[in-house]
Structure 1
Amino acid sequence: MSEDYRLYADLAAWWPLLSPPEEYADEAAVATSALDSADVDVREVLELGSGGGHNAVHLKRRFELTLVDLSPRMLEVSRRLNPECEHVEGDMRDLRLGRDFDAVFIHDALDYLLTEEDLAATVATAFAHCRPGGAAVFVPDHTTETFAESTEHGGSDDGDGRGARFLGWTWDPDPDDTWVRTDYVLLLREKDGNTEVVHETHTTGLFSRDVWHRLLTAAGFEPLVLTRRDGPDDAPRDLFIGHRPA
């Protein structure tokens, strides 16, 4: 799971520079529209795998958020950005808070689920916390049908000498299994000008639309898949909505 990676552990403090919160505005807008598709008035939202809280920066303007992540270091980052939100350390595969919400949201933390069993457990967690008439929104980076080898880069400076840049290369070593590989190279510059180069390999899950549909249905949701393309040069991306019957 994601807690095994330095990016979410001792390097977590670099997250706001590597992936700035303002870059999440469009994604959060799509998530808001999907969350609002519930059959209840959505006010209370549980975000599982909330990471550094960069989606929450935008979603909290519309919803009352409870943020859950497995990494205590990432929760520290999120608490600084979102002090008004409740934060909980927990594993989305087996979390049980004993209360329900109008909607549940899981962004790309889903990618670190490598088996159908882990994905099914997470879908069950979402169902257990979604009140009747509510909805759960799942946004994996890829499905089997949309995956294509890709590269990405980014990063920013803090205006006080610190800066971070990254290059990511995602590829599939074996198309017959349920995971893909992303190699990240991070270049981190401290305020005093010293730099560190970090290479880290992340293994992430890849499942078909049929698997998603089957697991959502098995958990009790009425599933819906939306395929969208953010821009003319962007790859298609699947978003799954599970409606819990009233």
Structure 2
Amino acid sequence: MKASDRIVSLYEDNAEAWDRMRGRDLHERPWLDRFLMRIPPGGTILDIGCGMGEPIAHYLIERGFRVTGVDSSPSLIAMCRSRFPAQQWLVADVRELALGRRFDGLIAWHSAFFHLTPEDQRPLFARLSGHARPGAALMFTSGPYHGEEIGEWQGEPLYHGSLGPDEYRLLLEASGFGDVVHAARDPECGSATVWLASLACSTASP
């Protein structure tokens, strides 16, 4: 099996290990706050690749936002439902996402784009646009350049894929997202490469 095809089952097989190992220091806070500034108070957020809900979704919930989390791992989603029962948690593959709803914000932090092949990432932007209300914020992390890399986690290959910055900008624009803020390998956020954009108000209907 290719490393890119193993991602879903790798996290499911190691859900408890991921829960133990995932840091909760929330070094992502400055970017989360910038994201939330683009969302109305009490708004709805789609957390794509939410994992076990900590620390990202937990922070959003504490700030008074309503979270719908999706992840391909049933075990991680079960943890979310146990910890945050007032929110909605769904087992879903982002490549086939079709919730029939639009949100005020969409976030995919080290998840949807991070672990998909470049080929699978390209059509994702139009799918996300279809889940975004006019003016909705989108924030995601990617690699700093086009390519594929294989790391290691739990003794197995861990796949990462990315498009290049120019292609991300073109895909965002084509899907109606503008007002783009981009930081490559932000040293104040664990060297994450971050994208933040908003859907044009004329692109989608409520």
Q: TM-score range by the shorter chain?
A: 0.7 to 0.9
Residue 26 of structure 1 aligns to a residue whose secondary structure is: coil
Structure number with higher helix proportion: 2
Mapping of 1:206-245 within 5 angstroms? 206-222=162-178, 224-227=180-183, 228-230=186-188, 235=191, 237-245=192-200
For residue 214 of structure 1, what is the amino acid of its counterpart?
L
Q: TM-score, normalised by structure 1?
A: 0.71
Q: For the Cα contact (< 8 Å) 1:41–1:102, is it kept in 2?
A: no
Mapping of 1:8-157 within 5 angstroms? 8-20=11-23, 22-23=24-25, 25-38=26-39, 40=40, 43-54=43-54, 55-62=56-63, 63-109=65-111, 110-115=113-118, 117-140=119-142, 142-144=143-145
Residue 111 of structure 1 aligns to a residue whose secondary structure is: coil
Aligned residues between the structures: 191
Q: For the Cα contact (< 8 Å) 1:49–1:106, is it kept in 2?
A: yes
For residue 50 of structure 2, what is the amino acid of its counterpart?
S
Structure-2 separation of matches of 1:42 and 1:238? 27
Structure-2 separation of matches of 1:35 and 1:10? 32
Judging changes above 3 Å, is the alpha-carbon distance between structure 1 residues 33 and 65 closer, same or farther for their aligned structure 2 residues?
A: same
- Which sections of structure 1, spanning at least 5 residues, go unmatched? 145-176, 187-198
Q: How far is the alpha carbon of 1:31 from its aligned partner?
A: 1.8
Q: How far is the alpha carbon of 1:26 from its aligned partner?
A: 2.6
Q: TM-score, normalised by structure 2?
A: 0.83
Rg larger in structure = 1
- Tell me, yes or no, if structure 1 residue 3 matches structure 2 residue 3: no
> How large is the RMSD of aligned CA atoms in angstroms?
2.0
- Give runs of ≥4 in structure 1 deviating > 3 Å: none
